[in-house]
Structure 1
Amino acid sequence: MSAMAHEPLTQDHDHVLLEGFLALDTPEGFRAELIEGEIVVTPPPDGDHEDHINVILKQVIRKSAADMDFSGNKGLTVPRGGLCVRNHVIPDGTFAPTELELFRGAESWMPCEGVSMVAEVTSTKPDRDRKAKRHCYARGGIPLYLLVDRDNSDVTLFSDPENGDYRQHVTVPFGKQLDLPAPFSFALETTRFV
């Protein structure tokens, strides 16, 4: 085993990786993210993936106690964790209170401050959503992370971020309600995910 395989990344390496990532020209519909020091390019989502996001979005619009803005393409920068450059992630859904006008005038990549909840629907690499992105969102201080896990047929709400992870989580199988706390304050119906 080579000693080089475990040497920490240098600041020069971090800078080159970040510059290369930011210069990527991905094909239309593809997403490029920088997650835990790895450049990840994902193809456009399938119809069921988009349907699940729509189910969440429609309920937030109709039932949420707070008026929320939504973005399905907002790039978020997240503090680095361990030996990697600053993460650049794109949640499937990002919710922020309308009164903050968080998305208005924002750059392509913005900090997480003010984001109330992010949502992910698993696709080709579900462990990335279950672990790496969960840790990114917790490090960014995002209060709520909603994960629709299509392989496990369940929905998990992670909350109370601290020290790079969420201290609490509640999981329900598809078909059961999941209570979303304030500022949303409603029970998310998951029957359409079945």
Structure 2
Amino acid sequence: MTAMAHEPLTQEDVLLESFLALDTPDGVRAELIDGEIVVTPPPDGEHEDYIELILMQVYRRSRTDMQFAGNKGLKVDSGGAWPTDHVIPDGTFAPRRLRLYRTANSWMPCDGVAMVVEVTSTRPQADREAKRRCYARGVVPLYLLVDRKAASITLFSDPEKGDYREHRTVPFGKPIPLPEPFSFDLDTADFL
């Protein structure tokens, strides 16, 4: 009997295996974004308050009934430059009729996700740049970024070729229109 030759592991394979084997403490999340392992501490109270303010408005005012998942892992094709991205948005919305989260594993594809939400925290540049591109590669139609340092909220839309073609930014206190399937103006007065 002859032993089968195994292909040597690539650097990308080792990175992905190392990432998937991580055992992080409760509340700490690990993501693989643009070939880099990113570990984030638990969010603070203000961070969670912004998520809750958005969630309540979507549930009450959205034209389409939405389902929400906080910290739901998404797998995104990296375009071959590094292993598949594994990102964890602060919030993910999908039409309730799809029931995407019912059978989803720890890491699910972006198919059917209507909008992801991020609130800046310890690594705001990752939310502004790397995660934005990642969600666009996953063809997530809408990316809502609450930028605490800039005291603004930005809606990115129309993903194409690894980035969003459109974006609109308003300061905290001003409403920002959310298009279909939401179809309402998100009130940010309570963000002040």
Instruction: Please indicate, yes or no, whether the TM-score normalized by the shorter chain is above 0.5.
Output: yes
What is the CA–CA distance in structure 1 between the aligned matches of 2:190 and 2:33, rounded to whole Å?
30
1:83 aligns with 2:85: no
C-alpha separation in 2, matches of 1:193 and 1:79: 34
* 1:82 Cα deviation from its structure 2 partner: 6.0
Partner of 2:144: 146
Whole-angstrom distance in 1 between the partners of 2:151 and 2:52: 17
Contact 1:36 1:81 in 2 (8 A): no
AA of the residue aligned to 1:172: V
Of 73, 76, 89 in structure 1, the residue corresponding to residue 71 of structure 2 is 73
- RMSD over aligned Cα, in angstroms? 1.1
For structure 1, the 5+ residue unaligned runs are 1-9
Structure 1 residue 11: Cα displacement: 6.5
Among 180, 185, 188, the residue aligned to 1:187: 185
Find out whether 1:58 has 2:56 as its counterpart: yes
Q: Distance in 2 between matches of 1:130 and 1:147?
A: 8
- Structure 1 position 24 matched with structure 2 position 22: yes
Aligned residues: 185
What is the CA deviation profile of residues 130-173 of structure 1, one whole-angstrom value per residue up to 9, with x for unaligned ones? Answer: 00000000000000000000000000000000000000000000
Does structure 2 conserve the Cα–Cα contact (< 8 Å) formed by 1:160 and 1:168? yes
**Higher-Rg member (1/2):** 2
Alignment partner, residue 105 of structure 2: 107
Distance verdict in 2 for CA 1:11–1:36, change over 3 Å: farther
Taking every aligned residue pair, what percent have the same amino acid on both sides?
A: 66
Q: How does 1:164-175 map to 2 (within 5 A)?
A: 164-175=162-173
1:100 Cα deviation after fit: 0.5
Among 47, 50, 67, the alignment partner of 1:49 is: 47
CA distance in 1, matches of 2:165, 2:55: 25
TM-score by length of 1: 0.93
**Aligned partners of 2:64 and 2:191: how far apart in 1?**
24
Structure 1 residue ranges, 4+ long, deviating more than 4 angstroms after superposition: none
